[in-house]
Structure formats: structure tokens, C-alpha cells
């Protein structure tokens, strides 16, 4: 078993670290311990439910979405439903939540039976959502709202900046190519190299011309990364 926070149950390390992140003292620690338990830790509770963060992640995702929706509803009284939905998606995007989770270094609190290299990029956002779920179970909606406003909205949300943020460079590029009547294609191949993990290499062609290359741990990520590189290479042309 791998403990990313050494002896978290000893000397109150887990409690102290958690309190520093939350800004208040947690009451029912069992929710937070579960929120930082990886699925590889294959044990179940007395109800037969796996002892890991996945159910709390589901709950936190719903609570987070409702609080952000209420915030946008109050801040943008003239915005229509479509705009509000778009802005909420940008605020709670995997990219944003991963950034928040990384800044809090949440993975250091986790217990797992696999090495950290196997967690995947989205573990940071998953843990943040699980933490929100744990707060909701421990302290209720009011504390969740306070935490999200202070730790997410105040620090990471700039509506004017987000208004121009691209959620998916691949989708954005495909839409532009369709509008300009240019064919676009991605060529993917497995690229293991010398690493133990499997990687995928992507080449992006527009009008049969190679525009960008990328490499990542999945085809989806590699294509998105290639699309992002292509977007910045063609930015002036796309935005004119």
C-alpha cells in the first residue's frame, strides 16, 4: 500500500493538512478519509460499498454544479439559459478542477495500492469533487458554498476571461474547418517508446497539410493537445 501522506493517521497530519485546505475544522473524519482513498484500495464498508472516493466524487460534482449555477444566476441577471450553461461548464471543466486540485496538492493526502504514476491526470479534479462531497456530508450545503466561493470562485473565476475560453480546441478547430470548407483529419498510432505506459502519437492535417503533432497517454488527449498547438499556430487566421 502506498501512503502519499506519510503516516497520515499519526500525529494528526491528515487532520492538520485538511483543516488548512478547508479553512475550518472537519467533524466527521470518515467522510474525508474516504474522499482520499483510491479505488485500488479494494475494501468495502459494512453496507458493501467500496471504500474509495468515487461516490463522494459523484455527490461533489452535483453540489459543485448547483452552487456555481446559483452564483452565475445571481451575477448575470440578463444572461439566457444557454450562456449560463456554457459558463458553468467552463468553471467546472476538468481543466479548471484539475488546476485547483494540483494547487492544493490533494494527491499527497491520498492512500492507494498503486503508484502515483498510475493515477491519471484527472485525479486532481476527481479529488477536489470528492472533497466537496465530503464537506457536504460532514457540514452541509452552507459550508460547501462557503468553501467553493472562497477556494474556487474567488481565486479562479473571472467571467470576462472565461467568456473567451475554449473548452475543446479539437471541436473549435473542426467547426472552423467546416466553416472554411477545409478537410481536417487526425492520424493516431500507438507510441510506446521506452516508457512502461502506453502512449499515443497524433498528427493533425488540415487541407492535407501537416499542421501539428502531439503525444499523450490516450488518443483523446493527444488529439486535443495537437488541436491546441494547431489553434495557436493558426490563431490569427482563425480569429480574423
pTM of the model: 0.68
CA distances from 231 to 168, 170, 224 (A): 11, 9, 10
Q: Quote the pLDDT of residue 8.
A: 41
Q: Where in the chain is the domain with CATH 1.10.1520.10?
A: 2-162
Q: Quote the pLDDT of residue 117.
A: 63
Q: For residues 94 and 123, give the distance between their C-alpha atoms in angstroms, rounded to a whole number.
A: 10
> Closest by alpha carbon to 5, among 79, 89, 116?
116
Q: Quote the pLDDT of residue 1.
A: 45
Q: For residues 158 and 45, give the distance between their C-alpha atoms in angstroms, rounded to a whole number.
A: 41
Q: For residues 150 and 104, give the distance between their C-alpha atoms in angstroms, rounded to a whole number.
A: 13
Q: For residues 145 and 6, give the distance between their C-alpha atoms in angstroms, rounded to a whole number.
A: 31
The answer to whether the CB of 136 falls within 8 A of the CB of 57 is no
Please give the positions annotated as active site.
61, 129
Please, what CATH class does the domain formed by 2-162 belong to?
A: mainly alpha
Q: Where in the chain is the domain with CATH 3.30.160.20?
A: 169-238
Q: Quote the pLDDT of residue 18.
A: 93
Q: Quote the pLDDT of residue 28.
A: 95
Query: Which CATH topology does 169-238 take?
Result: Double Stranded RNA Binding Domain (3.30.160)
Give 10-residue mean pLDDT values along the chain (240 residues).
43 83 94 91 78 94 97 90 91 92 92 73 94 98 96 87 79 92 94 70 95 91 92 86
The answer to whether the CB of 167 falls within 8 A of the CB of 89 is yes
Amino acid at each position: 500500500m502506498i501512503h502519499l501522506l506519510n503516516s497520515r493517521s499519526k500525529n494528526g497530519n491528515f487532520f492538520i493538512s485538511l483543516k488548512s485546505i478547508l479553512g475550518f475544522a472537519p467533524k466527521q473524519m470518515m467522510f474525508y478519509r474516504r474522499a482520499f482513498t483510491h479505488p485500488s484500495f479494494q475494501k468495502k464498508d459494512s453496507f458493501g460499498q467500496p471504500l474509495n472516493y468515487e461516490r463522494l466524487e459523484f455527490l461533489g460534482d452535483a453540489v459543485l454544479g448547483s452552487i456555481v449555477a446559483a452564483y452565475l444566476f445571481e451575477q448575470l441577471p440578463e444572461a439566457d439559459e444557454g450562456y449560463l450553461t456554457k459558463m458553468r461548464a467552463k468553471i467546472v471543466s476538468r481543466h479548471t478542477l484539475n488546476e485547483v486540485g494540483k494547487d492544493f496538492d490533494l494527491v499527497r493526502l491520498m492512500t492507494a495500492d498503486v503508484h502515483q504514476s498510475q493515477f491519471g491526470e484527472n485525479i486532481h479534479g476527481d479529488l477536489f469533487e470528492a472533497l466537496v462531497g465530503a464537506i457536504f456530508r460532514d457540514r452541509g450545503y452552507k459550508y460547501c458554498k462557503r468553501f467553493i466561493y472562497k477556494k474556487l470562485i474567488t481565486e479562479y473565476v473571472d467571467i470576462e476571461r472565461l467568456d473567451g475560453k475554449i473548452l475543446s480546441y479539437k471541436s473549435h478547430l473542426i467547426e472552423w474547418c467546416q466553416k472554411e470548407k477545409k478537410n481536417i483529419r487526425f492520424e493516431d498510432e500507438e507510441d510506446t517508446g521506452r516508457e512502461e505506459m502506453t502512449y499515443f502519437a497524433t498528427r493533425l492535417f488540415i487541407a492535407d497539410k501537416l499542421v501539428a503533432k502531439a503525444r499523450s497517454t490516450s488518443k483523446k488527449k493527444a488529439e486535443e493537445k495537437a488541436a491546441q498547438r494547431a489553434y495557436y499556430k493558426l490563431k490569427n487566421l482563425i480569429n480574423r
